[in-house]
Amino acid sequence: MFTGIITGLGCIVTAQALGSSSTHGKRLTIACPPAFLDDVSLGDSIALNGACMTVTTRDAAQQQFTVDISAESLDKTAGLTQNGTINLEKALRANDRLGGHLVSGHVDGVGQVTYFEQVGESWALRLLAPPTLAKYLAYKGSLTVNGVSLTVNRIQDVEGGCEVSINLIPHTVQNTALGALTAGSSVNLEIDLIARYVERMLTTDPQSPNAQPFTPNTY
């Protein structure tokens, strides 16, 4: 689990193919900030632009680590094979502050930036989310964009999906990779975890033969 609070900025150094066909994934080498790997072990989870990956090698001296990403993950995410700055977040510990919201690190869809401009001291970000995610987006709800926990300021259902408006304060722009976005950029989106359970509760038929009655514990 993650919180959507970015703990470092990295850069994809290389993206090495793990095979010769489209069914093979890639091995990514990521350069990270000094001391970022001090508390990281092999097998730990790190979110890259919001996508949870497993550390397969680490080189603290070179400030680099590698992850293996499957073809399926590459097909369902954006920005994980090209050079450029990416958001990094190490997995949540039980005693950490939950500064953002509960984030699983599983990308639900890829959105597209339609507008990104400075307005006053802040930045206005608008993006088009896929139609399949529209029902999970709500005013003042949480949305993870490239791994960053953000608050939705406005939603509008439009042709081709749902346009989401978000305000970014200067701190977010300066300390995450979101500042490099432009109109047309693709971004990884993860909906609020709670929305998944709400949908399940509202769409499950209690009269279904497969439905199990809830029996509370008595101890």
pLDDT tens figures, 160-193 = 999 999 999 999 999 999 999 999 999 999 999 8
- Find, among 152, 75, 163, the residue nearest to 114 by Cα: 163
Which pair of tokens denotes residue 203?
């769409």
Please check whether residue 113 is in contact with residue 188, taking contact to mean a CB–CB distance below 8 angstroms. no
Q: What b/e string do you get for 99-133 counting C-beta neighbours within 10 Å, with b at 16 or more?
A: ebbbbbbbbbbbbbbbebeeeeeebebbbbbeeeb
- Find, among 145, 138, 156, the residue nearest to 194 by Cα: 138
Mean pLDDT calculated for residue range 62-68: 97
Give yes or no for residue 212 having a pLDDT over 70.
no
Which pair of tokens denotes residue 219?
């101890």
Cα distance between residue 52 and residue 44, in whole Å: 10
Tokens 């293996």 found at:
68
Q: How confident is the model at residue 218 (pLDDT cuts 50, 70, 90)?
A: low
Domain ranges of the chain: 8-90, 109-203
The fold adopted by the segment(s) 8-90 is Elongation Factor Tu (Ef-tu); domain 3 (2.40.30)
Cα distance between residue 219 and residue 213, in whole Å: 18
Q: In 10 A of CB 142, how many CB atoms?
A: 21
Q: How confident is the model at residue 205 (pLDDT cuts 50, 70, 90)?
A: confident
The fold adopted by the segment(s) 109-203 is Elongation Factor Tu (Ef-tu); domain 3 (2.40.30)
Q: Determine which helix (DSSP H) or strand (DSSP E) holds 10, and give its type and residue range.
A: strand 8-17
Tokens 């590459």 found at:
74
Percent with pLDDT over 70 in the chain = 94
Strand partners, 167: 124
Asked if the domains at 8-90 and 109-203 fall in one CATH topology, the answer is yes
> pTM of the entire structure?
0.91
Task: Say how far residue 198 (Cα) sits from the centre of its chain.
Answer: 20
